[in-house]
Amino acid sequence: MRRSIDEVRAFYGEPAGRLVRRLVARRLDDAWGQAMGCDVLGIGYATPWLDAFSGARRVVAAMPKGQGAEAWPETGRNATVMVEDDRLPFRAGMFDRVLMVHALEEADAPGQLLTEAVRALSPAGRIILVAAARGGFWGRAENTPFGHGRPFSRGQLEQLVREVDLEPVAWSQTLYVPPWRPALGMADAVERIGQMVAPGAAGIVLLEAARRTYARTPRGLGARAALGELLKPLPSPQPVPGGARALPSSRRHRTRLSADK
């Protein structure tokens, strides 16, 4: 059973929720920036981050029926729709970017929900899954949305996306600080230390994936230098047919997740 929209919304108005918003926003900015010219779909409870895609052509929030929906954005034309996990009301290939937050953990059939999300993804599109990390403190904190449903490891997310014919292209973790209010003020310092000495303590894991035809991992020393030391590209298990390539990586259109800024 999913947490109600009132519970999730209340959490993101608290200090812990505001911290989660900030840390996840860093990763999304590294990956997609403002999503210039893209059609963006948020599934689950993604609205705390959708406003950042100011360069997008269209942004839609799809909220599961079991959770409930809220009007978004707060001003202007409403762009929220309530959906069934196994049937999204969008035509195939409609969105260039799909962001899933608080979507998989409490879904009755995560694979079916992801299958529907992939159906709505354009051939060269990208999808980011944001989920509670297995083994982290937050996955056991029942006073947060991350302490309900099933947490995921990076390997489990990789397996899940491959089952729907996606290829993982990048990953990241964040939220190393414990979900205790006195510790929240030390979050930035704990982030820097945690990723070096206790990677298993992260509260959130993020995985970016693309359709296998378009998935491409940079090769060679020059490509690794361009990615930077803190990025975590994932290797593709098979060559890319016909030399197909992913959307270009640039300052305006970034396509990789960063471990930190």
CATH for 130? 3.40.50.150
Question: Residues 186-193: what's their mean pLDDT?
Answer: 86
Say if 21 falls within a structural domain: yes
Specify the pTM: 0.82
Pairing of strands 204-211, 121-132: antiparallel
Instruction: Give the chain's mean pLDDT.
Output: 83
Domain around 127: 5-243
**192 bridge partner residues:** none
The answer to whether the beta carbons of residues 155 and 168 sit under 8 Å apart is no
CA distance 155 to 161: 10
| Residue 4 DSSP class | P
pLDDT digits (tens, 9 = 90+) for 17-71: 999 999 999 999 999 999 999 999 999 999 999 999 999 999 999 999 999 999 9
Distances (CA, A) of 62 to 8, 37, 70: 15, 20, 10
Q: Which range has the top average pLDDT, 81-95, 171-185, 206-220?
A: 81-95
| Helix spans in 84-134 (H) | 110-119
pLDDT digits (tens, 9 = 90+) for 63-100: 999 999 999 998 778 899 999 988 999 999 999 999 99
pLDDT band at 246 (very low <50, low <70, confident <90, very high): very low
pLDDT, residue 179, reads 84
State whether residue 141 is helix, strand or coil. Answer: coil
Say if 15 falls within a structural domain: yes
Determine the residue type at 94: M
pLDDT, residue 215, reads 53
CA distance 119 to 256: 22
Q: Which residues are within 8 A (CB) of 228 and not within 5 positions of it... i.e. 6 or more apart?
A: 258
pLDDT, residue 187, reads 85
pLDDT digits (tens, 9 = 90+) for 128-152: 999 999 988 888 888 899 999 999 9
pLDDT, residue 139, reads 86
Residue for token pair 């899933």: 100
Say if 222 falls within a structural domain: yes
C-alpha closest to that of 200 among 101, 133, 117:
133
Report the domain count for the chain.
1
With 70 as the cut, is the pLDDT of residue 119 above it? yes
| Percent of all residues in the chain with a pLDDT value above 70, rounded to a whole number | 81
Say if 261 falls within a structural domain: no
Q: What are phi and psi of 231, to 5 degrees?
A: -80, 150
